[in-house]
Amino acid sequence: MKTLLVIMAVVIAGAAHADGIELKDPKGDDKGPGTYIYPTDTAYSRGAFDLTKASLTDKGDSVEVKISVASRIKDPWRSKTWGGNGFSVQMFFIFIDTDRKAGSGHKAGLPGLNVKFAEGSRWEKALIISPQGTKRLTSEINAKAKKWKKDIVVPTSVSVRGKSVVARFPKSQIGSLSKAWGYQVLVQSNEGYPDKTDLLTRRVNEFNGQHRFGGGNDYNCDPHVLDMLAGQAKGAAGEATGQFTQLKTYKCDDDNPEGGSHATIKMVYPGG
Amino acid sequence: MSTAKARAILVGILVSATLLPTLAVADLINFNLAGQIYTKWLYRNNDNQGVLSYGNPFWPDNMAGDNGVSSEFQLLVEGRVGDYVQAGVRIKSRFGALWQDWWENGDIKYDQVENTSGESLGMNRAQYMKLRGYWIRAQLPIPWMDALLIGSSDLGMFNPWTIGKIRFIDRDNGKGIFVQGRVHDQYLRYHAAVIALPKLWVGPGWSTGVGDPLLRIPFYSNDWAYGLKLESDPLDGWSMTLVGTVTLDSEIDMTDPDAAGSLYPTCQDELGNPVPDCAKNGAVDTLHRYSNVVATFENQIDVWDGGSFNILAGFSHSFINERLANNGVRDNAGVFPLVYDTVNGSFVRVRAEFFDVADGLNFKFEYFNIDEHFMTIFGARREADVLWTDGFMEGGQLPTLNLANEFVDFDEDWYESIVGWHGATAILSFVGDVEFNLEGTFITYNTNAQNRDTDNVYPDFLHTDGYTDIDIYDYANVFDRGRDLRSVYRQFQDRMSIIARFDGVWHTGKLNGLDLGWKFKYIYDSDNREDGRDDDDYLGHIMMGRIWLTIPPADGLAITLGGQVDYWIEDNRRGSREQGYSDDTTFKVRPYVDISYAYQGLALRYRLEYIYKDAQRERDVDRTFHVIRSKATAEVSW
């Protein structure tokens, strides 16, 4: 009975805080800088990394983030059996610029994404939605992203609803949502056996393979991002071009596999 | 040496020095190595030595047991042959040698009871490296073809109803030729495969001929399965998938005079009379020992943000050649993975999900109807789940009699057959700081029948009665663990079941992420068995309660403390038509602790549990169990 009362209290509390941010992205732009193609394994189904919508909603003590893609979210690797969250191949990073001050916040993206943020839209908070459970995720953050740890927020719960993944984050670690903030959602793929420096991210190579995206570069310089927000995040077709343009701004060093410079991307500011 | 020559050599050295690092880099880029070491500790308060809780039930091996520690190593080598051609192999050591087996090398010195050679246990303890998988993958410049794979595959491109994904430990054992491509990215994509049948398990008697007493020369080298999957997205949010598979087990026609060991090598019978239509032609005819055709058609509809719908239907045809496949239903005590007859079956499964019917509240409904004759010999054997219900067992429900609940440890999932299940499941779920699922499932059985022929046609797997105890399980059922999870046919059955479940977790947000979890489950299971008799009616009330809490004292570390209480009241749980049945009750308590830790590439896990079981049996001696057991694993990958 007590449990039911707790549940009812949570439901009522959630209904009282419905304000939020809604961001859209055009379909068919899950190609990174315009050239990326999926791995050949059947786990990577058509549209699986094609971001269509992202919403952040105040739920009282929590912020609920709902990310939608173009096809049903599947769990071909049975994530629940390895402590996961009910899906297998996707991974989402939500970066937030809470102060909109040039030079304030973190410029570099998280390890494995191979992107950096423009001076005017550095990030203060990064929310991660991964198929991996909290234990593995926090362990990886400690190992590979320790210097950003205090600004990385991991969810308290993650669930799958059709074409969407819904995650709840402690509001105490994010703050009250604002349309004046900048937001960026990067779509990646969960890699259970990542490179030593990659935060559970899957790499993009020049040619695709069974579990490798293709259309990029074998050196570690190209952005490992399949889809992202661009423009005003209204879902307009032209936003795909904006995404391609931003993600093409990387340079590789033919003499150094780890050299070159990463692509520079911008936040989306719903408040204009 | 002339100046010009010296200059040329110097330039050559400089050029080489410049190029060498580049070439080395290129090699590293194109040659990937991945290693893994896995170690497992098992402990139980008994005298059984080995490192696998449940080994091979038919051919007992000397690596299974409850006390021991063993390690394995695997090496994954992948390389790029060309821009669009890749190759790879997986090499792995044999698991099973205990740390105490210092000198075991597979060379059994002598086969005596007293053996002090240190080389006494054979290849299961030799830790030899074995080629487990190999593949060549190419994206050929052929229209409509995306990729060609030759070699190993986990067969994950089809579905559990047709050709199932191979269990993880056997993931590279399946070999074949696989082609995938698209005529149109949206409207028509395909997978086609020709797969070598494993000579064990995909056939009558878990064999494609080996060991069958009706065969003189098992001929398994031409046994293949064929699969085709077509996918289309006719509209945005609507996808269709058609899968068709054929499994063929062929044997030599021993009446063919060209066959080695032919019955009629000279085209004359035992009396010297000519055999009609018998003539040598330099070719050997084959006959089908077994064939299985399975087709499914699935529609996934996601056109509405508020819900999702799925309709899956299928058909199977199962043919057994009684001249070439021995009747294991009759001769193997009813333990046989198929109905011993030529049968056709079908199934349908309909799913509807409704999201956010209230804030955070989701509802889903599933209807399922699997025919009593639906047979899929190559369907998934474990590590898949085709129904939403928690089922009788928590692990998974699969539509085959060919389940694999062996080569597992005590903490792994169990799988039950759903052949003949007809019913529906409704689940109400809430997601928030508190998460819960409330399930109600109702099942009747298409396998309900009176005087079914379980002696010759329908396998009953010998043990047909009683709720299955997967905590204290034994294949031979000497511990009275109940019904075999493959047993769906009974001579007299009139069964109906109801499953109710309420489970969830409360993310308290305290103590760095303290979670409290619970699960309560009740199963009402009735079987009136034989019409006209009241004294044989089975009625089971199965009650289970579990609570647990998880705390993360440090990043990457999780400690779970939990406890489970089971109470089963079963009227007429076990017995026979002739001798009658007994009313039994079972009480179990299981406290446990689970610790897991992930640090960089190191993953550690430890589970310790105590089981107290008190089985009050009306017609037999009561039984009490005090079991303490643990399992620990350490894994590194690099």
Residues B145, B22 within the same domain: no
Does the structure show a pLDDT above 50 at A11? no
* Residue from B36, B148, B359, B394 to probe the interface with A (highest A Cβ count within 10 Å): B359
For β-strands B415-417 and B396-398, DSSP reports them as parallel
Inter-chain residue contact A136 with B239, CB threshold 8 Å: no
Residues B25, B165 within the same domain: no
Does the structure show a pLDDT above 80 at A205? yes
Rounding to the nearest 10 degrees, give the CA dihedral for residues A243, A249, A119, A175: 40
**Which residue of chain A is at minimal alpha-carbon distance from B18?**
A255
Confidence band, pLDDT 50/70/90 cuts, at residue B272? very high
CA distance A65 to A159: 11
Question: What's the gap in Å between the CA of A138 and the closest CA on chain B?
Answer: 6
How far is Cα of residue B493 from the mean position of the Cα atoms in its chain? 27
Inter-chain residue contact B506 with A193, CB threshold 8 Å: no
pLDDT one-digit tens code per residue, A82-133: 889 999 999 999 999 999 998 899 999 999 999 999 999 999 999 999 999 9
CA distance A33 to A20: 29
C-beta atoms surrounding B370 within 10 Å: 28
In a domain, B438, yes or no: no
Q: What mean pLDDT do residues B418-429 have?
A: 98
Does the structure show a pLDDT above 60 at B460? yes
User: What is residue A272's predicted lDDT score, i.e. its pLDDT?
Assistant: 82
Q: In what order do the strands lie in the sheet with A51-59?
A: A20-24, A51-59, A62-69, A164-170, A157-161
Longest dimension (CA), chain A: 67
User: What is residue B7's predicted lDDT score, i.e. its pLDDT?
Assistant: 56
In a domain, B448, yes or no: no
Residues B26, B175 within the same domain: no
Inter-chain residue contact B433 with A62, CB threshold 8 Å: yes
In a domain, B185, yes or no: yes
- The residue that leads in pLDDT, B438 or A212, is B438
Count residue pairs from A and B with Cβ separation < 8 A. Answer: 135
The total number of structural domains in chain B stands at 2
Closest C-alpha among A57, A52, A55 to residue A68:
A52
CA distance B372 to B401: 11
Which residue is it, tokens 């979890």?
B517
Q: Which fold has domain A17-265?
A: Immunoglobulin-like (2.60.40)
pLDDT one-digit tens code per residue, B108-161: 776 666 677 778 888 889 999 999 999 999 999 999 999 999 999 999 999 999
Question: What's the gap in Å between the CA of A162 and the closest CA on chain B?
Answer: 6
Confidence band, pLDDT 50/70/90 cuts, at residue B15? very low
Which residues in chain B are contacts of A156 at CB distance < 8 A?
433, 507, 509, 513
CB B37 within 8 A of CB B635: yes
Bridge partners, B502 (sequence order): B438, B520
**Which residue of chain A is at minimal alpha-carbon distance from B237?**
A71
Residue B529 Rama label (left phi>0; alpha psi -120 to 50; beta)? left
CA distance B568 to B584: 8
In a domain, B441, yes or no: no
Residues B145, B27 within the same domain: no
User: What is residue B12's predicted lDDT score, i.e. its pLDDT?
Assistant: 52
Which residues in chain B are contacts of A161 at CB distance < 8 A?
353, 355-356, 362
In a domain, B175, yes or no: yes
In the three-class reduction of DSSP (H, G, I as helix; E, B as strand; rest coil), residue A8 is classed as helix
For β-strands A51-59 and A62-69, DSSP reports them as antiparallel
* Residue from B167, B300, B434 to probe the interface with A (highest A Cβ count within 10 Å): B434
DSSP letter string, A183-244: EEEEEEEB-SS--TTSSSBPPB-SS--SSSBBSS-SSTTS---SEE--TTSB--THHHHHHH
Residues B26, B151 within the same domain: no
C-beta atoms surrounding B263 within 10 Å: 15
Secondary structure (H, E, C), B366-413: EEEEECCCCCCCCCCCCCCCCCCCCCCCCCEEECCCCCCCCCECCCCC
Amino acid, single-letter form, for residue B242: L
pLDDT one-digit tens code per residue, B37-55: 999 999 999 999 999 999 9
**A76 has a chain B CB within 8 A of its CB:** yes
User: What is residue A7's predicted lDDT score, i.e. its pLDDT?
Assistant: 44
User: What is residue B325's predicted lDDT score, i.e. its pLDDT?
Assistant: 97
Confidence band, pLDDT 50/70/90 cuts, at residue B275? very high
A57: phi then psi, degrees, rounded to nearest 5: -130, 135
This complex has an ipTM of: 0.86
In a domain, B407, yes or no: no
In a domain, B315, yes or no: yes
Domain boundary assignment for chain A:
17-265
Residues B204, B320 within the same domain: yes
Bridge partners, B523 (sequence order): B499, B542
Which residues in chain A are contacts of B139 at CB distance < 8 A?
40, 207-208
Q: Which domain holds residue B147?
A: 139-325
Does the structure show a pLDDT above 80 at A6? no
User: What is residue A65's predicted lDDT score, i.e. its pLDDT?
Assistant: 97
User: What is residue B529's predicted lDDT score, i.e. its pLDDT?
Assistant: 97
CB B347 within 8 A of CB B160: no
Which one of B286, B305, B325 terminates a domain?
A: B325
Inter-chain residue contact B355 with A15, CB threshold 8 Å: no
Residue B28 has which token pair? 């590293």
CA distance B78 to A210: 11
Inter-chain residue contact B552 with A208, CB threshold 8 Å: no
Inter-chain residue contact A81 with B302, CB threshold 8 Å: no
CB A161 within 8 A of CB A52: no
Which one of B275, B305, B325 terminates a domain?
A: B325
Confidence band, pLDDT 50/70/90 cuts, at residue B1? very low
Inter-chain residue contact A161 with B356, CB threshold 8 Å: yes
**A40 has a chain B CB within 8 A of its CB:** yes
In a domain, B244, yes or no: yes
pTM of the shown model: 0.90
User: What is residue B113's predicted lDDT score, i.e. its pLDDT?
Assistant: 64
**A17 has a chain B CB within 8 A of its CB:** no
Burial B125-153 (b: 16+ CB within 10 A, else e): bbbeeeebbbbebbbeeeeebbbbbbbbb
Inter-chain residue contact A136 with B556, CB threshold 8 Å: yes
pLDDT one-digit tens code per residue, B574-622: 999 889 999 999 999 999 999 999 888 899 999 999 999 999 999 899 9
Q: What mean pLDDT do residues A180-207 have?
A: 93
DSSP letter string, B21-88: HHHHHHHHHHEEEEEEEEEEEEEESSS-BSSBSB--SSS--SS-BSBEEEEEEEEEEEEEEETTEEEE
